[in-house]
Amino acid sequence: MLMIVLLVVSICCLPPPFTPIGVGGLIAWGLLTMLFKAAGQGAEVMAIEIQSGNPERGGCWLVGIFAFVILGGLLTLAVFGIIAGGMRGQFQ
């Protein structure tokens, strides 16, 4: 639901004077979509490892997923801020 809201708000912000916010939001939406898809695949691998009797490897996957999601979320926020800040004033 949150991803749909981000997409709709980003598309609504594409006309000037909000174009930087719209472009940044669309790029953030794309990055978050890829981030959640990759985290879901990692969680599947983690579950398989735990079910096959390798809790240590499953725990390593869990830590990796946490780090990936946290760093990916921070990267997405940074990209959104850089794009919106860099494009400010260009579409007025």
* Two tokens, residue 81: 């801020």
Nearest to 36 by CA among 65, 61, 64, 60: 65
Q: Which residues contact 91 (CB under 8 A, 6 or more apart)?
A: 16, 17, 19, 20
Q: What is the pTM of this model?
A: 0.68
Q: What is the per-residue pLDDT for 90?
A: 59
Q: What is the per-residue pLDDT for 67?
A: 92
pLDDT mean for each 10 residues of the chain (92 residues) = 85 84 84 88 91 90 91 85 71 52
Q: CB of 39 within 8 A of CB of 69?
A: yes
* Two tokens, residue 22: 């719209």
For residues 41 and 55, give the distance between their C-alpha atoms in angstroms, rounded to a whole number.
17
